[in-house]
Structure 1
Amino acid sequence: MVHFGVFVLGFSSALWSFTAAHAEDKGRRLIGPGQPIEASEGDDVILPCSVSPDYNVEDLTVEWSLPDLKPDPSDRLRRVDYVFVYRRRREEVHMKLRAFVGRTELFEDELKVGNISLKISNVTLADAGKYRCFIPKLEGGVKEAVVRLVVEPRANSTLTTETQTYSPTPEPNRETGVEVGRPPLRTLVVCGCIALVVVVAGFGVAYFLLKRCVREKETLHHLIKPIPASLLNVI
């Protein structure tokens, strides 16, 4: 009876462990951040997505795509716009959109724990939108998650655009007291000084030439002697 009881207890324990493991396997799901990811134009950004609980996906296919992107009219047979495709332990570069070639990658060392987060380098305003991470052969649970990316323009580019748009009606700068679109006071002072130097130099040259002309006339007057009156009478 004792041996039978031990056998029943061991069998029950093994059955419970198998059931729990099987239930855990069926309960795997992909999890996204749950809120938009914000980035500035030109930054590198990471779109989080991972399997819960941890699970090795090195031998599975991992896909990142843009579900809301309109289909390319030049390629009507292509139904999915891939941003990144991982298959057979390597990246399928030929399947991704040209705009993302060389700009997207996975953390391959993290695939063994189910981390399939996507890194996008040098994001642009056109990169904003919804991204779908998907593992087709993930057993049980949720096989996909959606991450929304928000890209803000750079502050300097916004300032340049506003300056170009509103240049006809300049507004005073609160920090410097100089109105936008007008030359600063320092520039006006420098230009005034240069103009004054040019005028003074012009007067100096004119005075020198005039004085030289007077001296030449005086010298010529001394060289020319008057004809004596006696010679005039002879003539």
Structure 2
Amino acid sequence: MRIFLHELDDLSVTLTRVSFFLHTTLLWTTEAFPAQSVVMASPRLISSAPGDDVVLRCHLEPPVDIQALTVEWSKPDLRPDPSDPLRRVQYVHVHRNGGEVTDMKLRSYAGRTELLTEQLRHGNVSLKILNVTLADAARYRCFIPKLKSAVREATVQLVVDPNYIGEPTEPQLSPRDSQTPDPDENLDPTGRPGRSHVIPAVIFSVAVILGFGIGCFLKHNNHRQTTSTTPG
């Protein structure tokens, strides 16, 4: 009976150590790969004709209320005005403190941009551009400077084609495209595996260690029993 109780104590100690290791590992994983809202543009390419009203769709995933944060829409490929000695950056649209900031706005977009402010509480930072022109064809960047995230920006490409017929839209994806994931979508901005892949890997590793530990314990226990029953 004493031998049996001693074996139970050994098993209890082993399981306690493994449980502590598992708990510590999961805590480290949670801290190393925290869940954060990231800025996403969908679709990333929009086609339109001159005179159309277009919406550059951008949102946070998972959604979070950003009414108190600054939202900047700009043209990243646009060079500063060489005649400006300060080489100040100008924006397509800047939203700050509940309203639009117009003193840094590009003149060609005056009165033609709208942020869907009522959707900011849902993490929607889409920008509407009215009466697009050929000069509006460009890459647009949505940037949230004070967002606590590793991914604070996204870009949308706007194509303005005089021969385009139909509603402003993105190109249709083939079934293969819609089912094939982006090879980088499971990487964080530093190039490391994303949290969704790391946690299962950690859990699997701990399960293997746990199984190995229990197997060794049972093997050791069986060896002790065999030794104790062998005539001296």
Deviation at 1:154, TM superposition (A): 5.2
Task: Flag structure 1 segments of 5+ consecutive residues without an equivalent.
Answer: 1-11, 157-235
| Equivalence map 1:84-95=2 (5 Å) | 84-95=93-104
Partner of 2:48: 39
Deviation at 1:80, TM superposition (A): 2.1
More helix, by proportion? 1
Q: Which residue of 127, 136, 148 maps to 2:145?
A: 136
Partner of 1:23: 34
| Equivalence map 1:37-76=2 (5 Å) | 37-76=46-85
* Bigger RCO (CA 8 Å, 6+ sep): 2
Partner of 2:6: none
1:106 partnered with 2:119: no
Structure 2 CA distance for aligned equivalents of residues 131 and 137 of structure 1 = 19
Structure 1 CA distance for aligned equivalents of residues 87 and 93 of structure 2 = 15
Structure 1 CA distance for aligned equivalents of residues 61 and 150 of structure 2 = 10
- Give the share of equivalent positions with the same residue, in percent: 52
Instruction: Look up the SS of the partner of 2:89 in the other structure.
Output: coil
Counterpart residue identity of residue 44, structure 1: D
Partner of 1:212: none
Bigger shift: residues 122-131 or 140-149: 140-149
Partner of 1:220: none
Counterpart residue identity of residue 95, structure 1: M
Structure 1 CA distance for aligned equivalents of residues 160 and 111 of structure 2 = 19
| Equivalence map 1:115-130=2 (5 Å) | 115-130=124-139
Instruction: Let me know the Cα RMSD of the aligned residues.
Output: 2.3
Residues 78, 56 of structure 1: CA spacing in aligned structure 2 closer, same or farther, 3 A cutoff? farther
Deviation at 1:35, TM superposition (A): 3.2
Structure 1 CA distance for aligned equivalents of residues 104 and 94 of structure 2 = 7
Structure 1 CA distance for aligned equivalents of residues 148 and 115 of structure 2 = 21
Instruction: Look up the SS of the partner of 1:95 in the other structure.
Output: coil
How many residues in Structure 1 have an aligned counterpart in Structure 2? 138
Deviation at 1:23, TM superposition (A): 2.5
Structure 2 CA distance for aligned equivalents of residues 117 and 83 of structure 1 = 13
Residues 63, 155 of structure 1: CA spacing in aligned structure 2 closer, same or farther, 3 A cutoff? closer
Partner of 1:152: 161
Instruction: Look up the SS of the partner of 2:34 in the other structure.
Output: helix
Residues 28, 155 of structure 1: CA spacing in aligned structure 2 closer, same or farther, 3 A cutoff? closer
Q: Contact 2:71/2:95 (CA < 8 Å) preserved in 1?
A: yes
Task: Flag structure 2 segments of 5+ consecutive residues without an equivalent.
Answer: 1-22, 166-232
Deviation at 1:52, TM superposition (A): 0.7
Instruction: Look up the SS of the partner of 1:93 in the other structure.
Output: coil
Q: Contact 2:58/2:124 (CA < 8 Å) preserved in 1?
A: yes
Tell me the TM-score normalised to structure 1 length.
0.54
Which structure has the larger Rg over C-alpha atoms?
A: 1
Counterpart residue identity of residue 45, structure 1: V
> Where has structure 1 moved over 3 Å in runs of 4 or more?
none
Tell me the TM-score normalised to structure 2 length.
0.55
Residues 76, 38 of structure 1: CA spacing in aligned structure 2 closer, same or farther, 3 A cutoff? farther
